[in-house]
Amino acid sequence: MIRVEVRFAGLPRTETGVKAETLELEPDITLGTLVERLNQRYSWEIGRGESQFILLNQRGLRRERWAHTRLEDGDSVLVISAIAGG
Amino acid sequence: MFTGGYLGKLLRVDLAREHHAIEPVPEAIFEQYLGGRGVAAHYYREELGPAVDPLSPANKLIFFTGPLTGLPLPATTKFQCATRSPETGIYLCTNSSGELGPYLKRQGYDGLIIEGQARRPLYLAIAGGGVEFRDASDLVMLDTPAAIEAVRADGPGADAAVMAIGPAAYSGVRYACIMVGDRSFGRGGAGRVMAAKGLKAVAVDRRGEIPVADRARLKAILPVAAKNARETKRTHNLFGTNQYTEVMNELGCYSVRNFTTGVFEGAATLSKDYVTRHYKDRSAACFRCPVACAQVCSVRDGPLAGAVSDPEYETVGTLGGVCGVSDFAAIIAGNQLCDEYGIDTMTVGCVIGYAMECYERGLFTREDTGGLEVRFGDAAVMLELIRRIGRGEGFGKVLGKGFRELARAYPATAPYMMHVKGMAFAAYEPRGFYGMALAYGTSSRGACHNVGGWTIRDELLTGDYDRFALEGKGELVKRLQDTRAYIDSLGICTVVRSSMGFTDSPTGDVLLAATGVDFTPRLMAIGQDIIDLERMILVREGITREDDYLPNRIYTEPLPEGPARGRILTREMYDVMLDEYYRLRKWDRQGVPSGRAQEGAREAAG
Ligand code: SF4
């Protein structure tokens, strides 16, 4: 099993009510699968729309790459929202 | 030939002679620079030579609306001001929401140029297309809400739009703002210029009509655009721009204790959820805005009970993060004080943060500060300093000078001044995303996240850019600046722009319906021309490549903690981005527009 930290900020934190959690996941799991599981867990569509973003180890990752990105032990996933400048 | 959107006239007011004149604005100027920021910059270039002192009668306040200002479309609230800044000593462009821009157009004017110096305290009452010069002797030291109320009671009508300055402008604060109702021309000290001119306020009657080319088409566009803006900017309505506080903190990019770190341990009590639960009263909207992003907050108990204001992300990040203050009640109270005195919240937060760091380093003593222990995290001291700055008292008088003057008076403290070209940073840590560093460095008015370009979405979140990479940042910042320059010239709020097709690949027929001329395919080129024009102005005022650098802290001190720990942006790294940016702009290595860029700007300037 691998351990992955998932953090939420912005609207995702409000909607899930969670700031951070550490999940035990099977090896070879992809970011796409993790997002699906989180969606089921929180009954909320994580990564939905243009205003939500996922950062893996603090770097932005395009939606198209989620399904092909394998997670590793110790990875940190950050789900955030941002729309426009202040 | 325009058949709507523009009036083709400007109102020129000479305060010394108490005289006004109506002048035509040639269509060619609108064709080249669109309106708002672009056209104001054009008049600035024509009328304000490089030797003009910001506080002299020769300085001017050049206000311009855009072709969409005041039209029946979402958030057509914006208008622009260009002037020589007393904070930076150079060209300033600054924008405001509010009703005044729309009402000015209803009076029949695209622009208002105020020049000279009044022989007695004055306010202007604009109604029926004419101007009355009214005595403001009794209003001068009123705070801005009281002044606005008094002018409304006495002026062209209870529902007139009023912009006014507060006591800070008269106390010599070089970053005093102009309040436009409850919005403001915040940055760069336009309020101080207005005080130097002896002008307390401007009131504009609300009656009048703005012509549009195709009213039926605009009527069809409005509900679709408004629905889109409401739906896509839902979090703006719920939380305002303060929704970014916890996000920036999570990324290690927050503005903390005078930019000594990017992570704030007190961010939880500044976060949107905490603020919504404990302080929010309602969302509020600017003129014709379907989003309503302002978060009106009040303090319900404790020593600051009764304080009311609507702090935005930048205000929270400067009065809060930069000063190390985690008490949101103090931020509401500080924001209210700034509004009442008429002070830019962002610069005052950065100046107080600088004073806190210098005090802790022993560079300021209790003798300097008038007995105050000026330390990070002390909310009461932060509030007391705002009061003293607003009143021009003791150490407050010193801090009111702004970074440029402070650097001359206290050279040993200069390394702790977080500014570019004299304008204080916005609330983003540039070592946490390198594009933002380039945006601060190359913005036309000094460190600024709006005019400079808000790189965060592209740089951090979309996955198109690596936030710690150098390559591509010149292209990104140029594109964002060009976009922002044309948006600032249209007269709409940037938050709603994409709901009308105004992106970096503009689409739609809004401009055609408004003006009868389809500018849309040319908008990015117009934005580029505006940036070139502004750079030519800055070069004429003595700005060189050397002025496009950030404070040494950014180049020499790695971030000490958090997700961006160890990150630094050396001068050599910054040069890679700056060179790319200059090359794409067709500016030479000194940042001087050359070749096509220079020709374009010259031609445009006529
Ligand atoms: S989005 Fe916010 S700042 Fe923009 S016009 Fe609407 S209320 Fe004003």
Q: Cβ contacts of residue B323 below 8 Å, gap of 6+?
A: B257, B349, B352, B353, B356, B376, B377, B382
Judged against a pLDDT cut of 80, whether residue B600 lies above it is answered with no
What is the pLDDT at residue B465?
A: 81
Q: Given this model, what pLDDT does residue A86 score?
A: 46
- Chain B contact for A14 (CB, 8 A cutoff): yes
Query: What's the pLDDT score for residue B462?
Result: 65
Strands B161-164 and B79-84: unpaired
Cα gap B15→B265, rounded to integer Å: 51
pLDDT digits (tens, 9 = 90+) for B85-94: 999 999 999 9
Ligand 1 atom closest to residue B494's alpha carbon, by position in its atom list: 4
The residue extents of the domains of chain B are 9-204, 237-414, 434-605
pLDDT of residue B598: 58
Pick the more confident residue, B312 or B460: B312
User: Which residue puts its alpha carbon closest to atom 8 of ligand 1?
Assistant: B286
Of the listed ranges A20-34, A55-69, B510-524, the one predicted with least confidence: A55-69
- Kindly give the distance from the C-alpha atom of residue A83 to the centroid of ligand 1, in angstroms, as a whole number: 13
Residue B497 pLDDT: 94
User: Residue B601 pLDDT more than 60?
Assistant: no
Report the pLDDT averaged over residues B507-513.
97
Q: Where are the domains of chain A?
A: 2-81
Backbone Cα Rg of chain A? 12
Q: Which residues contact B339 (CB under 8 A, 6 or more apart)?
A: B144, B145, B166, B179, B182, B184, B309
- β-pairing, B9-14 vs B111-115, is parallel
Q: Which residues line ligand 1 (CB under 6 A)?
A: B 75, 77, 97, 236, 285-286, 289, 291-294, 493, 495-496
The Cα B422–Cα B74 span in angstroms is 34
Are the beta carbons of B178 and B194 closer than 8 angstroms?
A: yes
Q: Name the token pair of B320.
A: 């809060």
- The overall average pLDDT reported for chain B is 95
CA distance A5 to chain B (A): 13
Beta strands in A1-86 (DSSP E): 2-8, 20-25, 52-56, 59-60, 76-81
Provide the shortest C-alpha distance from residue A31 to chain B (in Å).
14
Residues facing residue B125 across a β-bridge? B132, B203
What pLDDT band is residue B463 in, cutting at 50, 70 and 90? low
Looking from the CA of B376 toward its CB, the CA atoms found within 13 Å total 22
Nearest to A47 by CA among A10, A18, A5, A84: A10
DSSP 8-class letter at B90: S
Burial class of residue B273 in the structure, from the number of CB atoms within 10 Å of its CB (0-12 exposed, 13-18 middle, 19+ buried) = middle
Cα B315 to ligand 1 centroid, rounded to whole Å:
16
Contact B122, B133 (CB under 8 A): yes
Confidence class for position B377, pLDDT limits 50, 70, 90:
very high
Q: Considering only CA atoms, which residue is closest to atom 4 of ligand 1?
A: B493
Report the residue of chain B nearest A66, measured CA to CA.
B463
Task: Mutate one of B235, B236, B249, B250 to test the A interface: name it (highest A CB count within 10 A).
Answer: B250
How high is the pLDDT of residue B242? 94
Burial of residue B506, with CB atoms counted within 10 A of its CB: 0-12 exposed, 13-18 middle, 19 or more buried: buried
The answer to whether residue B122 scores a pLDDT higher than 70 is: yes
SS3 of residue B388 by DSSP: helix
Compute the radius of gyration of chain B from its Cα atoms: 22
Task: Report the pLDDT value the prediction gives residue B232, as an integer from 0 to 100.
Answer: 87
The whole-number pLDDT of residue A15 equals 82
B20 pLDDT more than 50: yes
B237-414 adopts what CATH topology? 1.10.569
- Average pLDDT estimate for B539-565: 97
**pLDDT average, residue stretch B76-93:** 98
**DSSP states of B152-173:** HHHSS-TT-EEEE--HHHHTT-
Residue of A5, A8, A11, A45 for testing the chain B interface, max B β-carbons within 10 Å: A11
Cα–Cα–Cα angle for B39, B43, B45, rounded to 5 degrees: 110
CATH number of A2-81: 3.10.20.30
Q: Which positions 35-54 of A are in contact with B (Cβ < 8 Å)? A: 49-51, 53
Kindly provide the ipTM of the predicted complex, given to two decimals: 0.80
Is the pLDDT at B378 greater than 80? The verdict is yes
Give the model's confidence band at B235: pLDDT under 50 very low, under 70 low, under 90 confident, else very high: confident
Q: What is the pLDDT of residues B137-177, one digit of tens each?
A: 999 999 999 999 999 998 788 899 999 999 999 999 999 99
In this prediction, residues B369-384 reach a mean pLDDT of 98
Cβ–Cβ contact A85 with B under 8 A: yes
Q: Region B576-597: what's the mean pLDDT?
A: 91
**How much of chain A exceeds pLDDT 70, in percent?**
88
Q: Which residues pair with A6 in a beta bridge?
A: A21, A77
Q: Which residue has the tokens 């009065």?
A: B319
Does residue A50 register a pLDDT over 70?
no
Nearest to A58 among B236, B313, B563 (CB): B563
The edge-to-edge listing of strands for the beta sheet with B9-14 is: B19-24, B9-14, B111-115, B61-65, B79-84, B91-96
Q: Is the pLDDT of residue B473 over 50?
A: yes
CATH architecture for segment(s) B9-204? 4-Layer Sandwich (3.60)
pLDDT of residue B140: 94
Could you tell me the pLDDT band of residue A51, with boundaries at 50, 70 and 90?
low
Which fold does the domain B434-605 belong to in CATH?
1.10.599
Q: Report CA(B63)–ligand 1 centroid distance (Å).
A: 20
